[in-house]
Amino acid sequence: MEKINIGGQAVLEGVMMRAPRAMAIAVRRPSGEIVIKREQTPPLSERFPIVKLPLLRGAVALVTSLIIGIKALNFSANEALVEEEGADGQEAKQEELSSWALAGTMVVAFGFGIALFFVLPLYLTKLLVPVIGDNNIIFNLVDGLIRVVVFLLYIWSIAKMKDIERVFQYHGAEHKTIYAFEEGAELTLENVKRFSRLHPRCGTSFLLIVMLVSIAVFSLIPKAWPFVWKALSRVVLLPLIAGISYEFLKWSAKHDQHPLVKLVIAPGLALQRLTTREPDDAQLEVAICSVKEALDENGGYSDDRIVV
């Protein structure tokens, strides 16, 4: 018997949950029905043991999460926006993304993130050189500060959108359910409701850690490099930054009761007050359903949260 970790992601009107070897997406249709998609997701490390190595596993986890996340969003959009009944008496759905469309979506999303959170801050910092000087340490500190500000403004702005607010409620439901599972509580509505919506292993916290780690890593780039080379280095070094951030997140999650660790992870938890909302009972039901389905697909679900 082995105790397992689970993770998740809020999607449109639902929650995707991942166990070590499986995933499940639970989405509530406009009719109120909860639809489920379950899928086996064997660890890539079974085929390529090298991806277990520290740092490398973080970069792999980032790419894997992007792929699974976009697939989950596509499924949820297809189900959450389904019409009750078409003219021919059949349910009308959107077409799911093809492999090429999925790859294109990933490239666009990744490119947008690089441009907004890495290239734009670098360009703005370059414009400020006459004011801040050309000291490498100061340059990278200002670059990092602008990057964090852009990230926070982005989170703050999307949090104002009505549709995103519902996604953030499902985000809160995901966290509460995972907390209940980790604490060994029976996954009932009343039990799950009493847990916090803030979780130290949240992807929001991970992104904030990425922003902070990038300040240190980018400070190693020679200041004499042309702007284009500095911009390209942001892309090349991103896997390393993701790897370092992933290792820190795993370590901090295991030691989150230590006073010093609590202080370090506090900014990430504070940021989650923007990216999560208190869910209602219907949303919690979807998250609970998703966890149970993922565990069942993974190999079994039991009241003591153990997979046999």
In a domain, 208, yes or no: yes
Average pLDDT over residues 220-225: 84
For the chain, state the CA radius of gyration.
Answer: 21
Rounded percentage of the chain residues whose pLDDT exceeds 90: 37
In a domain, 266, yes or no: yes
pLDDT digits (tens, 9 = 90+) for 43-67: 888 888 888 888 888 888 888 888 8
Q: Which domain holds residue 240?
A: 2-296
In a domain, 146, yes or no: yes
Strongest mean pLDDT among 9-18, 207-216, 246-255: 9-18
pLDDT digits (tens, 9 = 90+) for 119-143: 999 999 999 999 988 788 888 899 9
Among 121, 137, 148, which residue's Cα sits nearest to residue 222?
Answer: 137
pLDDT digits (tens, 9 = 90+) for 78-98: 887 765 444 444 555 555 555
15-29, 93-107, 282-296: range with lowest mean pLDDT? 93-107
In a domain, 26, yes or no: yes
At position 57, the amino acid (one-letter code) is: R
Residue of higher predicted confidence among 103 and 251 = 251
In a domain, 308, yes or no: no
Instruction: Name the strand (E) or helix (H) holding 2.
Output: strand 2-3
Q: At what angle do helices 227-236 and 203-218 cross, to 10 degrees?
A: 140
> Structural domain tally of the chain?
1
The pTM (predicted TM-score) of the whole model is 0.84
In a domain, 225, yes or no: yes
Q: CA-CA distances (angstroms) from residue 279 to 75, 80, 111, 251, 271?
A: 21, 17, 32, 28, 17
